Amino acid sequence: MRRWNGWGDEQVQLPLAPEAKLFLLEVLGEAKNGPNADLNTAIARLSASRLDDTKLWTTNPAQRIRYSLGQSLPDWLQLRYGLIAQAPDAVAFPESREEVRAVLQQAAQQGCVVIPYGGGTSVAGHVNVQASSRPVITLVMQRMMQLQSLDTEAQLATFGAGVLGPDLEAQLRARGFTLGHFPQSFEYSSLGGWVVTRSSGQQSLGYGRIEAMFAGGHLETPGGSLDIRAFPASAAGTDLREIVLGSEGRIGVLTDVTVRVQRLPEKESFIAVCFPDWESGRQALRQMAQQQIPLSMLRLSNATETATSLKLAGHVQQVTWLERYLRWRGCAEQKCMAIIGTSGSALQVRQALQQAKQVWRQHSGIGLGTLLGKKWQHGRFRNVYLRNTLWDMGYAIDTVETATDWSRITPLMQAVEQAARGAFAEEGEAVHTYTHLSHVYTQGASVYTTFVYRLSGDYQTDLRRWQRLKRAASEAITTFGGTISHQHGVGLDHAPYLHVEKGQAGLEVIRSLYRHFDPQDMMNPGKCVAAKGD
Amino acid sequence: MRRWNGWGDEQVQLPLAPEAKLFLLEVLGEAKNGPNADLNTAIARLSASRLDDTKLWTTNPAQRIRYSLGQSLPDWLQLRYGLIAQAPDAVAFPESREEVRAVLQQAAQQGCVVIPYGGGTSVAGHVNVQASSRPVITLVMQRMMQLQSLDTEAQLATFGAGVLGPDLEAQLRARGFTLGHFPQSFEYSSLGGWVVTRSSGQQSLGYGRIEAMFAGGHLETPGGSLDIRAFPASAAGTDLREIVLGSEGRIGVLTDVTVRVQRLPEKESFIAVCFPDWESGRQALRQMAQQQIPLSMLRLSNATETATSLKLAGHVQQVTWLERYLRWRGCAEQKCMAIIGTSGSALQVRQALQQAKQVWRQHSGIGLGTLLGKKWQHGRFRNVYLRNTLWDMGYAIDTVETATDWSRITPLMQAVEQAARGAFAEEGEAVHTYTHLSHVYTQGASVYTTFVYRLSGDYQTDLRRWQRLKRAASEAITTFGGTISHQHGVGLDHAPYLHVEKGQAGLEVIRSLYRHFDPQDMMNPGKCVAAKGD
């Protein structure tokens, strides 16, 4: 069963090796076990629902709690301390467009707010309930998850928008196809959620971001239905898909999604390459991206992330030998590990790697073959379980992500890391901080920074710490020319910084779009771009 | 000097070989020379301007005529018969954002309509003046054409939006870069025009459509300025670029455009491949697109276009030998010629062609090397001059274009061609009709159909003929599942068909966007999506 206050399936554990624990002890100090309230405690504290049960929704307290929050660190604090600030008054599980429409109509009639909920993996507060005089209904899409049609010639598949990653891929793979969208949240995030938050998967370099996959769909809005037809390309005025992408539940509920799929590749390969330092690695990735070498993934860890990964991996003996070899080849303390992915026919994979090799050699990269690549592939959706393990040990782990131009990446990364490391200086608490680039473009790359620090054992202290860290990192991102989100969306947590990149005129046009579909501001109010006066 | 009532530079002639003339005579019958009014005749018929000259604009009659129309066939009829239905009351040539702003402010104060004008190459009526009680100012962007900045690391270039294709490429090439956007109108179309009409260049398979190149920019609207910052990618809510793309002058004036550019490729190659029939060619192109073979162009002429091109090429001797060789290799009457383009390093070009060859051989394609490819490349912007030659001979040439899914391409093409061939049946006039695919996607391809037919010598007859042909072709396109435009935009001519793909709810949201920026409906009114009641 899915954990109610942690990541993923209760059966999945990701224990740390003793050496990994020792490493955390060294860098952050001893920690006491993190809090872990039980569901009944949270239920007992829940305020009464302001709605009655209907055929359309339930007011069951356990359901209200299970669908009250996402996976951001402040969400975890609420869940683990058993202090759910706000839960929806009711939860609806529609099974069809008609039922979605009925929920919206009933909600409008009763003056309710509706929060669309896909997989609940948001790390930016997209599905959180905010204090409101209006009752809140969380509309869970999980029952709308069928593959409705597959056009094998046009490579178009239409799904219910609530389908989660594994179910989507299983239905496609059975027919020889793949979507190729693999965000780290893959196991629990939904197709509709990917679209409305502009998600990006780990192999976006080859398969494209969700924007490129999203070909059309159907939306139920307070003002009526919107059908978006799928064309290969069109110059016919405004692209309606773009009204839906990044709309974060503010204009309605995406019920059906048509995506561009691809035949399962004959071959897929991930190889590791070690660079002697950050700058060599960054230049190599830039060159591969700008030369349009047909790879499916490019990922580069900075020196701290590389060292941390090797420490947390366990396998002391093998890592020692690897590091000895790398040192002999010129990759020592400052070494940075990259993972390079390729997909396609055997010929395509071979040719792409040949092109990539020319570039990494120019930048003193050492090819390490597929062993570490396979390890990365094996852990690609498992590492997120590390959060449970660390929490139990008393450590919080959180991330921020952005994208910026190639020339700004290093100063931005340094600024974010410095801001984070110093965030708790006055308390004398360390923040272990490291970064990778995981999505590359001709113009620049995403920058993804991770923070690990000790929990205090006190909810208010931990919340304040997170707020301080999040603010420091977000200010560094916007000051140094990054977008406030490359792949996680805006939600609540990034909303205060959005004006920096959109400008007031930009926010106004987004508001006018929301108003067009939702004049009563009943759809997920306050998220992304708040109506004036929120 | 640029022709006032034809395509391109007055010095450029594209004479037809005698055999080509004979071919037209055979398929369409003898024609009498097309009309060719002179500028003074048109000026003499011009109604008086309702505006006075100011520092911001001129009411010079020759200028009013020169900027009154685009390049659609009905535009040509007006220009060649010297019967300009409507001209702007004044023409403005702003040199800065401030001057653009001043024109918009003055226009608003005087209750005028403003039509933004890039290169005037629209074939869909984007820049046409419509009868209006409000005076009309055409705002010509051509003086805003400077390269303002070039970030060689992020590969971003910012230009004045009025820059035309050759000036843009010249400024970039001098610094070792290219945009890679080459529509057939390249010589006279502008960067801003490409963006607001969602243009697609001949090598969009490699370089992307203008949507992918457009990174950010600046817009002056009646309601104020909108700045769009350029990020490599972002998940931060609605993408403001998409408000501008396809806006067709309806929300304001795009003054500055930041585009993603690329280093000039080491090598570029176009080769010809002949398929024995249409279906073999279509399947080969589909497979190359869906296998993501890194080509920069894929283009396939149907049998009639292939035969017509060979006839119009002249060079009877060489063509005879080529056809004899092809027949021996199995490509006879139904043969379809494809052009395959590749760009990149020498290694990349070699590898891409190796992959492509595997596919074309599976589909009985015969590789013909680079000779015909070079010929195509040489003529890529010259063939549009053929329109002048044909007109002088008494023939009209026009095109329609769409995109649809792979499975719909053949029935759609047949329906469009059949509708066109029969359009003048009651008059006993033939329409010579042929088609190519020129932009391919995993989902489908663009379908581009050309019509050649005789001019009547009478303006009203020719206009009615065009209307009948355009309606027949457009109805076939929408009935058979195509978008009303893959690359030319909506303007006036495609507006009646837009509801089929957007739906009424889709048109409403587009209207609400226009209203947000332009509550007085002063920007290019009636184009793309008309305000209600227009």
- Is a pLDDT exceeding 60 seen at residue B533? no
pLDDT, tens digit (0-9, with 9 covering 90-100), for B474-521: 999 999 999 999 999 999 999 999 999 999 999 999 999 999 999 999
- Round to whole Å and give the CA distance between A280 and A275: 6
Q: Look up residue A520 and give its DSSP letter.
A: T
pLDDT, tens digit, 9 for 90 and up, residues B244-270? 999 999 999 999 999 999 999 999 999
Residue with tokens 């106004």: A508
Residue B113 has pLDDT above 70, yes or no: yes
8 A C-beta contact, residue A187 and residue A482: no
ipTM > 0.90, yes or no:
yes
Selecting from B154, B358, B494 the residue whose C-beta is nearest the C-beta of A444 gives B154
The token duo for A261 is 């799929």
Extract the runs of DSSP E, i.e. beta strands, from B52-102: 57-58, 90-92
Q: Cα distance from B163 to chain A (closest Cα, Å)?
A: 21
A446: left (phi over 0), alpha (psi -120 to 50) or beta: beta
Instruction: State the pLDDT confidence band at A237, using cuts at 50, 70 and 90.
Output: very high
Choose, out of B234, B345, B441, the residue to mutate when testing the contact with A (most A CBs < 10 Å): B234
Domains and CATH numbers, chain B: 36-140 (3.30.43.10), 156-263 (3.30.465.10), 267-380 (3.30.70.3450)
How confident is residue B383, by pLDDT bands cut at 50, 70 and 90?
confident
CA A63 to CA B29: how far, in whole Å? 77
Using a CB-CB cut-off of 8 Å, the residues of chain B touching A286 are: 153
Say what the pLDDT of residue B483 is. Answer: 98
* Total length of chain A: 534
Task: Provide the mean pLDDT of chain B.
Answer: 97
The SS3 of residue A410 is: helix
* Residue position matching structure tokens 């308390």: A427
pLDDT in tens, A49-97: 999 999 999 999 999 999 999 999 999 999 999 999 899 999 999 999 9
Cβ contact A404–B347 (<8 Å): no
Q: What is the count of residue pairs from A and B with beta carbons less than 8 Å apart?
A: 280
Q: Which of B155, B225, B489 sits opposite A505 (nearest CB)?
A: B225
Identify all chain B residues contacting A406, using CB atoms and an 8 Å cutoff.
153-154
Interchain pair A233, B209: CB under 8 A:
yes
> Between chains, do B485 and A235 touch, taking CB under 8 Å as contact?
yes
Scanning every residue of chain B, which has its alpha carbon at the shortest distance from the alpha carbon of A402? B234
Q: Is the pLDDT of residue A106 over 60?
A: yes
Q: Alpha helices of B383-491 — where are they, by DSSP H?
A: 386-393, 409-421, 459-479
**Which run of H or of E encompasses A355?**
helix A346-362
Q: Following CA atoms B172, B176, B181, B186 in sequence, which dihedral angle do they give, to the nearest 10 degrees? A: 60
Cβ-Cβ contacts under 8 Å for B147 (sequence gap 6 or more): B157, B158, B159, B163, B168, B171, B172
Q: What is the mean pLDDT of chain A?
A: 97
Nearest beta carbon to residue B153 from set A230, A247, A406: A406
Residue in chain A lying closest to B217 (CA): A502
Q: Which of A420, A276, A249, A421 is nearest to A335 (CA)?
A: A276
B281: tokens are 């060619």
What stretches of B76-153 adopt beta strand conformation (E)?
90-92, 113-117, 136-140, 147-151
A484 interaction partners in chain B (CB closer than 8 Å): 236
Give me the DSSP letters along B235-303: -SSS-THHHHTT-TTSS-EEEEEEEE-EEPPSEEEEEEEEESSHHHHHHHHHHHHHTT---SEEEEE-H
Confidence band for A315, pLDDT divided at 50, 70 and 90:
confident
pLDDT digits (tens, 9 = 90+) for A213-230: 999 999 999 999 999 999
Would you place residue B532 in the very low, low, confident or very high pLDDT band (cuts 50, 70, 90)? Answer: confident
Q: Which residues pair with A115 in a beta bridge?
A: A138
% of chain B surpassing 90 pLDDT: 97
What 8-state DSSP symbol labels residue B526?
Answer: T
Residue A481 is encoded by which pair of tokens?
A: 């020319």
Residue A449 CB partners (closer than 8 Å, separation 6+)? A399, A400, A401, A413, A416, A417, A420, A433, A434, A435, A473
Q: Which of B155, B348, B406 sits opposite A153 (nearest CB)?
A: B406
- A267-275 and A336-344 as β-strands: parallel, antiparallel, unpaired? antiparallel
Question: Would the pLDDT of B534 be above 60?
Answer: no
> What pLDDT sits at residue A533?
57
With CB atoms and an 8 Å threshold, state whether A231 touches B444.
Answer: yes
**How far is B273 from chain A, CA to nearest CA, in Å?**
21
- Please tell me which residue of chain B has the smallest CA distance to A210: B235
Residue-wise pLDDT for B2-49, tens only, equals: 999 999 999 999 999 999 999 999 999 999 999 999 999 999 999 999
The residue among A532 and A323 whose pLDDT is bigger is: A323
* Helix H or strand E encompassing B432: strand B431-437
Report the pLDDT averaged over residues B201-207.
96
- B404: chain A residues, CB-CB within 8 Å: 231-232
Q: Which two tokens stand for residue B381?
A: 């912007």
B237 closest CA partner among B225, B228, B245: B228
Residue B486 distance to chain A (closest CA, Å): 4
* Among A234, A488, A523, the residue to mutate for chain B (most B Cβ within 10 A): A234
Distance CA B70, CA B119 (A): 9
